[in-house]
Each structure stands twice: as structure tokens, then as C-alpha cells.
């Protein structure tokens, strides 16, 4: 056997020990820490097996039965199976809905939707990023167009009420009447309440706009039927598959089929979304789909049809609400006053802590979260809050009583950050320097991190046992 064949069949720990050591370090970080970034989760062993399968090797531009390359007989079957399961999971009639499972991730999926139905410089409206929206919903500032969606399209944000933190649907309706968008986006990346899809639909209809729901964060909760579904009222729905859905890093786009409306002459107006969206994905924005990821989606969808998955999603929400209650009892302000979903947005202004300092101190004690804007913030680079989520912790088996311990760790970390700030002053660079150099604080951080590590290790990670 040639040396080349031998090298192709080596394990990565033999062929590239330097890289494998880094992979093991990341596995150790995940095992020893508490993953509370709301958009992250731990996927299953079957999904990981699909991702590392021979399906990775095949090019398959086009749709099933319409490929540009040969040799796709079984790839077609896998993609059709994935489409079938996607419609079944969300209880959709194939005569009324179709789905494209080829998008590489959520951001490309959303850009494909805009490319399909909004002409260049056409108008879109999405929840503003500082108010809990997503970059791909048209984010821009007064001085710069940040997202490609604001470069290629004309975007106007809608906002939350700065006092309640809740979406101001009345203001959205007024703005839409003036702006006349082609597309209204109902979707979030940091908003802890269920969306009023019926009201979104009414506003869209008043302005002849499409309603596009981005359920990336909550798709697992929707699949389990424990929060309202966007499908009843939406024309298009997109989702990532790796957040609450707990699949691989990929995305799907669902689109309406059949009759859209009846005009004044009594004639039926039929949706023309299917070809437009399919062609926007390929050849518009992508090349060959990632067949290993599509297989991973398919098996994740199968898992999501089980009673165990519904129980998991119910626990995700219960844990988020327990987290919210615990933080409020510690004196922290939670935006909107609570949560209906998997995340909690904590406003730290009244506690005298910045989001960046909170994120840093929690990372140092092995709790991963992210700094986040809260209503009224002027800068996304210097926000006043942190976003905390429970999907990943719930996957590892944490229940309400365990969340109480997590709240204790968070509170102790945040209180420690206030002590450090008194020494460091207001600048983040000085805060980090004091954390790194002050022996007293080093000891306190190390002690707290050891407690978090010991607690975290009692909960297993799904996936391959060794890496």
C-alpha cells in the first residue's frame, strides 16, 4: 500500500497531532464551561456522523432531478427526504408550502430571500439590531451601512418601546404606511417575547408587502409546538438549523405555494416564490450544496419529531424562566420583564456594570455569553447588557435547580466585576489589565472558575466521546 493511501486513512490525532491538540482543548473548554450563548447548542452524534460522512465528497448543483453533474441518485433521495421531513415537522401541507434545504447558513438564506423578491434598492423593514433584531434584517447606522442587506437594499428599522422593551407595532404600522416596504421581516436575535405574527400580517397586507419570518432562534420551540408558529401568517419563513433545532450549521427557506390573493376582477393571484427562491439560492448566490449538512438536517428533523424533543424544548423555556426569575431576585433588570422563549436579555445599567465587562468576567470564570445592546443604547460596540440562553445547558441535562446554581455563579461574577471596576476605572482596557495583573482578583477569579468547572463537568456533552 502506498504512503499516500496510508496517509488518507490515518486518524487526525496521528496525521496532525498539533491540530488535534487544539480540538481537544476546545472539547475541554466546552465540557468544563457553561455555554450560555443563546444561538449555540450541542448537536447530536448522528448529526456529527452525517457531517463527517462520504456525502461531503459529492458535488450536486441544482435540485433533485435537475442536477448539473451525474452520480446524484442517492444525493437526490437524501435531499428529498430532508424536504419531506421539514414539511412534516412544521405540520405543513406540501400543496401549500415548499422548502429549500440548501442554504449554507442563516445569513446566506436571508440574502437569498431578498435577492429573490426584492429588487436592488427595494425597501425592507426589520427590527433594529440594537432593539433585538439581526444584522441581516437591514442593519445600518447614521454613518455606515453595516450589513450587505442595507447596502443592496433600502432598509428602515422598526423599534421597541424603550420603557417596556416590547415591539411597538403601532409605530411599525405608521412607518410602513410612509415607507411602503416590499418586505417586512418578523424575526429576532435578542428579543425574549413571542412575536405577534397576526399583527405583522395585517401590517403587511395594508401595504401590499410580503411577510418574511426569520425563526432561526426559535425554530425548535416552533417545531415542538410550545410557542406560536409563523407559518399561518407568513409568505416566507427562514431558519437556521443549529440553534434550538439542534442540528448542523445550515439553514432552510420555506415558501408559500398556491393562491396568494384574489384581485378586484375575481381572478386568483398565484404565488411565484418557488422558482425565484430556488434560483436565488443556486445559481444566484451559491454553488454546490453541502450534502453532508443536508443529511445532518434530515436526521435532526427526525429527532425533532419525538416526544423527547418536545420535553427538551419545554425544559429550555422552563430553564430560561428560572434563570430570569433568579437574576431578578438578585436585583438585575430583565428587558421586557421576563421571557417566553429560550433567552434572557439583562440590562446592567442599574447595576453599574457594562456589557463588555460582564462578558469578560464571565468568560474568565468559564461562563460563555455575549454583550448585547439594550433599548436606549447608543452604541452596539459599547452595550449595556448581556444575552443569556438556555438551549445548550438544557441539552447537557440541566434542570431548574441546576439553573439556580448557575444564577449564583453569574451573580458572584458580576459582583466581582464591580469590585475590579472600582480599581481599574471606566476603561475596558484597564479593566482587563487589572484582571490579568492584580493577584487578589486573580485568586478570586481562579477560585470561582474552579467551582464552575467542577459543576459543569458533572453534565455530559453529546457527540464523539474523545473529540
Matching CATH number, 54-305, of 3.40.640.10, 3.30.1360.30, 3.50.50.60, 3.40.50.10860: 3.40.640.10
Q: Is the pLDDT confidence value at 1 over 70?
A: no
CB 287 within 8 Å of CB 272: no
Cβ atoms of 388 and 323 closer than 8 Å: yes
54-305 matches 314-458 in fold: no
User: What confidence tens digit (pLDDT) does each residue in 68-114 have?
Assistant: 999 999 999 999 999 999 999 999 999 999 999 999 999 999 999 99
- Non-local (6+) Cβ contacts of 348 within 8 A are 332, 333, 354, 355, 358, 384, 385, 386, 414
Question: What per-residue confidence (pLDDT) applies to 146?
Answer: 86
| Mean pLDDT of the region 427-434 | 94
End-to-end CA distance of the chain: 28
pLDDT digits (tens, 9 = 90+) for 117-176: 998 999 999 999 889 999 899 888 888 888 889 999 999 999 999 999 999 999 999 999
- CB atoms < 10 A from the CB of 318, how many? 15
Kind plus residue range of the DSSP H or E element containing 238: strand 236-240
414-429 pLDDT, tens digit per residue, is: 999 999 999 999 999 9
Residue 256, CB-side half-sphere exposure with 13 Å CA sphere: 20
Task: Judge whether 320 and 149 are in contact, CB under 8 Å.
Answer: no
Strands of the sheet with 333-334, listed across from one edge: 333-334, 343-347, 385-389, 370-372
pLDDT attached to residue 6 = 66
pLDDT at 4: 67
Window from 161-165, 177-181, 238-242, 381-385 with minimum mean pLDDT: 381-385
50, 190, 324, 369: the active-site residue: 190
Which pLDDT belongs to residue 288?
Answer: 96
Q: Which cell numbers in the block locate residue 185?
A: 421581516
Q: How many CB atoms lie within 10 A of CB 351?
A: 18
Question: What count of other Cβ atoms lies within 10 Å of the Cβ of residue 443?
Answer: 10
pLDDT score, position 397: 98
Share of residues in the chain with pLDDT > 70 (%):
99
Give the class (CATH, top level) of 314-458.
alpha beta
SS3 annotation, 207-223? CCCEEEEECCCCHHHHH
Render pLDDT for 263-306 as a digit per residue (tens, 0 to 9): 888 888 899 999 999 999 999 999 999 999 999 999 999 999 99
Spot the catalytic one: 137, 217, 242, 342.
242
Note if 56 is an active site residue.
Answer: no
pLDDT at 2: 60
CA 309 – CA 307 distance, rounded (Å): 5
Instruction: State the pTM of this model.
Output: 0.95
Instruction: For the chain, give every domain's residue range.
Output: 54-305, 314-458
Classify residue 461 as exposed, middle or buried by CB count within 10 Å of its CB (0-12, 13-18, 19+).
Answer: middle
Q: Tell me the Cα Rg of the chain.
A: 23
Amino acid at each position: 500500500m502506498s504512503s499516500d493511501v496510508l496517509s488518507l486513512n490515518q486518524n487526525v490525532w496521528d496525521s496532525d497531532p498539533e491540530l488535534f491538540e487544539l480540538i481537544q482543548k476546545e472539547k475541554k473548554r466546552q465540557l468544563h464551561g457553561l455555554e450560555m450563548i443563546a444561538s449555540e447548542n450541542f448537536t447530536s452524534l448522528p448529526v456529527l456522523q452525517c457531517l463527517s460522512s462520504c456525502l461531503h465528497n459529492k458535488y450536486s448543483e441544482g435540485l433533485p432531478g435537475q442536477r448539473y453533474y451525474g452520480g446524484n441518485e442517492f444525493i437526490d433521495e437524501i435531499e428529498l427526504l430532508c424536504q419531506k421531513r421539514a414539511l412534516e415537522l412544521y405540520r405543513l401541507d406540501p400543496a401549500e408550502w415548499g422548502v429549500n434545504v440548501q442554504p449554507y447558513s442563516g445569513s446566506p438564506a436571508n440574502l437569498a430571500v431578498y435577492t429573490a423578491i426584492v429588487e436592488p434598492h427595494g425597501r425592507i423593514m426589520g427590527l433594529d439590531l440594537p432593539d433585538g433584531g439581526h444584522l441581516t434584517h437591514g442593519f445600518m447606522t447614521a454613518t455606515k451601512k453595516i450589513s450587505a442587506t442595507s447596502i443592496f437594499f433600502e432598509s428602515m428599522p422598526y423599534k421597541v418601546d424603550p420603557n417596556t422593551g416590547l415591539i411597538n407595532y403601532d409605530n411599525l404600522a405608521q412607518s410602513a404606511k410612509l415607507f411602503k416596504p416590499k418586505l417586512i421581516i418578523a424575526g429576532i436575535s435578542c428579543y425574549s417575547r413571542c412575536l405577534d405574527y397576526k399583527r405583522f400580517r395585517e401590517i403587511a397586507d395594508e401595504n401590499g408587502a410580503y411577510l418574511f419570518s426569520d425563526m432561526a432562534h426559535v425554530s425548535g420551540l416552533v417545531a415542538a409546538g410550545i410557542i406560536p408558529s409563523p407559518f399561518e401568517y407568513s409568505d416566507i419563513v427562514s431558519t437556521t438549523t443549529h440553534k434550538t433545532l439542534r442540528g448542523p450549521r445550515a439553514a432552510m427557506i420555506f415558501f408559500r405555494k398556491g393562491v396568494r390573493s384574489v384581485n378586484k376582477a375575481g381572478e386568483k393571484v398565484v404565488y411565484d416564490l418557488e422558482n425565484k427562491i430556488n434560483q436565488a439560492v443556486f445559481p444566484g448566490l451559491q454553488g454546490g450544496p453541502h450534502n453532508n449538512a443536508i443529511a445532518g438536517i434530515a436526521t435532526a428533523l427526525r429527532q425533532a419529531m419525538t416526544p423527547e424533543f418536545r420535553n427538551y424544548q419545554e425544559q429550555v423555556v422552563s430553564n430560561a424562566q428560572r434563570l430570569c426569575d433568579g437574576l431578578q431576585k438578585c436585583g438585575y433588570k430583565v428587558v421586557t420583564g421576563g421571557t417566553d422563549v429560550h433567552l434572557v436579555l439583562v440590562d446592567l445599567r442599574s447595576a453599574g456594570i457594562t456589557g463588555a465587562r460582564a462578558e469578560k468576567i464571565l468568560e474568565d470564570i468559564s461562563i460563555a455569553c455575549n454583550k448585547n445592546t439594550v433599548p436606549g443604547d447608543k452604541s452596539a460596540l459599547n452595550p449595556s447588557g448581556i444575552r443569556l440562553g438556555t438551549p445548550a445547558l438544557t441539552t447537557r441535562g440541566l434542570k431548574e435547580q441546576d439553573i439556580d446554581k448557575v444564577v449564583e455563579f453569574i451573580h458572584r461574577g458580576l459582583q466581582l466585576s464591580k469590585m475590579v471596576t472600582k480599581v481599574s476605572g471606566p476603561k475596558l482596557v484597564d479593566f482587563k489589565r487589572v484582571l490579568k495583573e492584580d493577584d487578589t482578583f486573580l485568586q478570586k477569579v481562579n477560585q470561582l472558575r474552579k467551582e464552575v468547572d467542577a459543576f459543569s463537568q458533572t453534565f455530559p456533552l453529546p457527540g464523539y466521546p474523545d473529540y
